[in-house]
């Protein structure tokens, strides 16, 4: 039992790392909390669902489409609002409220476009045989989701630490002003980071029918909160700290689901509040701004 729970926790942990990764990347680069993060994940889920139900496309093969669509959306969103916001008097709060408005818009449009029914992609899309892992059997979809998550995390690692664009991105994360003064095109770097953040959310969305249960337009806000909990546990603004946060959350969730299932719903919220109050820097990492 405990072996099953811990292994399931690892699989879910990797997946939750992917769920929250984009939010942390965007926070790291722009210092703003993308309150519409969960809604973009929901859109990614519906894109994968649409491709599956209309053309039978396996969610794994939907990934390229997700990347193209959401990188473009992120870049467009950046140039449409962010420069204007950053020049205002209270960019942090205003952008937060603006993204809240955006989240409402996305949810409403999703209801209009897709209706409010819960949708699911049958798990049989990955074959009907469960996967055996260290003597425990898991649904194949869990394993596929975990592998895709790990691959996406590695891709982000190479982007940040092994590419010129990533070098510039990290410079902007360290200090927007200093990066600008060394000739880095801060807007371009930030726009791409926002695009990458949304694409990561969308990829996570493609696998949400298997990991989070059925999908619906109203799933966004809960996912945003859970993602925020994950990145606060890891470390705000440190994308790779997200992996630690994801694993802690995934293991914690599975342990709760196994031993105290009726209280498991409380986990992300209690963790979030406790960490913010007791160790605001997260398990790794630097200070959170306090009032």
Partner 1 sequence: MPRGGWYSVGVVLLFALLPFVYGNHALLFNMMMYLVLAQGINVLFGFTGYLPFGYVGFFGAGAYGASLAILLVHLPPVPALFVGAAVSVLVALLLAPLLRLSGAYFAIASLAASEVVYYIVSNPHLVSLTQGPYGISLAQVYNSGASYATMVVVLAMALAAVVYLRNSHMGLALQAIREEPISAGFAGINVVRERTRAWLLSAALAGLAGGAYAWHVSVFYPKSVFDLNISVFAIVFTLFGGVATLVGPIVGTLLLYGLYNWIGISQPEYFQLVFGIVIVLLVLFLPNGLVSLLRRAKIHVP
Partner 2 sequence: MSIRPILRLWPFAGAVLLSVFFAGVAAQAAPVPKVIRIGTLYADSGPFATSSQSQLQGLRFWVNDANREGGVYVKAYGRKIPVKLITYNDRSSTTIAATLYNQLITQDHVDILAADFGSVLTSVAVPIAQEHKMLLFDQTGTGANFFTPGNPYIVLTSLPTSAEWPYALADFLKAQTQIRRVALLYATNDFTGSQAQTLRRRLQGSHVKLVFDHGVPTSTSSYALLLHNVQAARPDAVIEFGYPNNDIAFLHDLQASGMKFKMVFTIFPGQLFALMKSSVGVQTLAYTYTYPTPPLLVYNKVNYGMGLDRFKEAFRKANGKNPNFLNIAGFNTGLIIQKTLDVAPSLDQLALRRSIVDFSGKLHTLNGTFKIDTATGAQIGETLPVGQFIPGSRGLTVRMLYPPDLAAGKPVYPAP
Tokens 């630490």 appear where? 161
Q: Is residue 258 within the footprint of partner 1 (CB under 8 A)?
A: no
Instruction: List the beta bridge partners of residue 138.
Output: 131
How far apart are CB 98 and partner 2 at their closest, in Å? 25
DSSP state string for 216-284: -GGGHHHHHHHHHHHHHHH-TT-TTHHHHHHHHHHHHHHHHHHH-GGGGGGHHHHHHHHHHHH-TT-SS
Q: Is residue 228 within the footprint of partner 1 (CB under 8 A)?
A: yes
State phi, psi for 215 to the nearest 5 degrees. Answer: -105, 150
How far apart are CB 279 and partner 1 at their closest, in Å? 13
How far apart are CB 72 and partner 1 at their closest, in Å? 20
Return the number of the residue (137 or 181) whose C-beta is nearest partner 2.
Answer: 137
Per-residue x/- marks for partner 2, 137-176, CB under 8 A?
Answer: x-xxxx----------------------------------
What's the N-to-C CA distance of the chain in angstroms? 45
Q: Is residue 116 within the footprint of partner 2 (CB under 8 A)?
A: yes
Q: How many residues does the chain have?
A: 291
- Of residues 3, 5, 17, the one with CA closest to residue 147: 17
Binding residues for partner 1, rule: CB under 8 A, are 32-33, 81, 84-85, 88, 92-98, 100-109, 111-112, 221, 225, 228-229, 262-263, 265-266, 268-270, 272-273, 276-277, 280, 288-291
Binding residues for partner 2, rule: CB under 8 A, are 1, 4-5, 8, 111, 115-118, 120, 122-124, 128-130, 137, 139-142, 210-214, 254, 257-258, 261-262, 265
């Amino acid at each position: 039992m405990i072996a099953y729970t811990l292994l399931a926790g690892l699989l879910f942990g990797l997946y939750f790392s992917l769920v929250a990764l984009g939010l942390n990347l965007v926070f790291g680069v722009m210092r703003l909390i993308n309150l519409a993060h969960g809604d973009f994940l929901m859109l990614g889920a519906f894109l994968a669902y649409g491709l599956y139900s209309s053309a039978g496309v396996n969610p794994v093969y939907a990934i390229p489409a997700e990347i193209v669509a959401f990188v473009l959306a992120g870049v467009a969103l950046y140039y449409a609002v962010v420069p204007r916001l950053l020049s205002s008097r209270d960019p942090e709060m205003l952008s937060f409220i603006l993204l809240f408005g955006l989240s409402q818009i996305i949810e409403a449009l999703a209801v209009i476009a897709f209706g409010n029914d819960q949708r699911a992609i049958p798990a049989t899309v990955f074959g009907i045989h469960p996967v055996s892992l260290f003597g425990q059997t898991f649904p194949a979809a869990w394993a596929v989701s975990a592998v895709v998550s790990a691959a996406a995390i590695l891709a982000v690692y190479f982007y940040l630490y092994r590419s010129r664009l990533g070098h510039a991105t990290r410079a902007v994360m360290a200090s927007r002003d200093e990066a600008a003064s060394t000739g880095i095109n801060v807007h371009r770097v930030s726009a791409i980071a926002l695009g990458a953040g949304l694409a990561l959310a969308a990829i996570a969305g493609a696998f949400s029918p298997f990991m989070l249960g059925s999908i619906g337009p109203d799933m966004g806000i809960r996912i945003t909160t859970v993602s925020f909990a994950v990145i606060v546990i890891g470390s705000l603004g440190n994308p790779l700290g997200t992996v630690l946060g994801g694993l802690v959350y995934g293991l914690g969730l599975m342990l709760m689901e196994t031993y105290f299932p009726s209280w498991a719903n409380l986990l992300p919220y209690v963790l979030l509040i406790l960490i913010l109050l007791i160790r605001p820097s997260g398990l790794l990492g630097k200070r959170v701004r306090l009032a």
